Amino acid sequence: MRCPYCGTDNSRVLESRPSDDGLATRRRRECLNGACQKRFTTFERIEQRPFMVIKKDMKRDVFDRDKLFRGLQKACEKRPISADDLDELVDAIEVRLRSEFEREVPSSEVGERVMEALRSVDGVAYVRFASVYREFRDVETFAHEVLSLLGKKEVRSGSSQNHESTTDE
């Protein structure tokens, strides 16, 4: 395996373990170049037939794990979510999509799975992704999404006034 730091094609495996529900093997490696000796991670995956994403304009693109990771990374920027956690999210989303769809998946389904995953991990990342994915056109729609995240059932408009009831005795 070629070292991503120095390009030497001589490395050794330090640790191997199953990943992605047994569909991949994660390997920690160390470069054997005396000047480098950095560690890096590789994944060995089962080669699967291409999984296609059907875009809004009906064009088809090959499912791209890296693109999904970058989208999650952007939503989680400056949030306390590690790269390993993002990898696990990508794995879980891909496994779920492949189990629900045989060869093709609408991009809307990919977006919904990302929304579900982010909603359970980090509210701020969820709202960031939702604001782009759902293309909020106004503040009210954005506020409704935030309130739904907080568990509110309806959005109340207007000012909140304190109404007291009086009783005559």
Statement: residue 58 has pLDDT above 90: yes
- State pTM to two decimals: 0.60
Q: What is the pLDDT of residue 49?
A: 76
**129-164 burial: b if 16+ Cβ within 10 Å, else e:** bbeebeebeeeeeeeebeeeeeeeeeeeeeeeeeee
The Cα–Cα gap between 110 and 58 comes to 15
Q: What is the pLDDT of residue 159?
A: 38
Statement: residue 8 has pLDDT above 70: yes
What would the mean pLDDT of 153-160 be, rounded to a whole number? 40
Residue with tokens 């109404």: 163
Q: What is the pLDDT of residue 142?
A: 75
**CB of 61 closer than 8 Å to CB of 79:** no
What would the mean pLDDT of 67-72 be, rounded to a whole number? 95
Q: Strand 60-62 relative to strand 11-19: parallel, antiparallel, unpaired? A: unpaired
Q: How confident is the model at residue 3 (pLDDT cuts 50, 70, 90)?
A: very high
Q: What is the pLDDT of residue 154?
A: 43
* Mean of pLDDT over the chain: 84
Q: For 16-25, 31-40, 71-80, which range has the lowest pLDDT when averaged over its residues? A: 16-25
Q: What is the pLDDT of residue 57?
A: 95
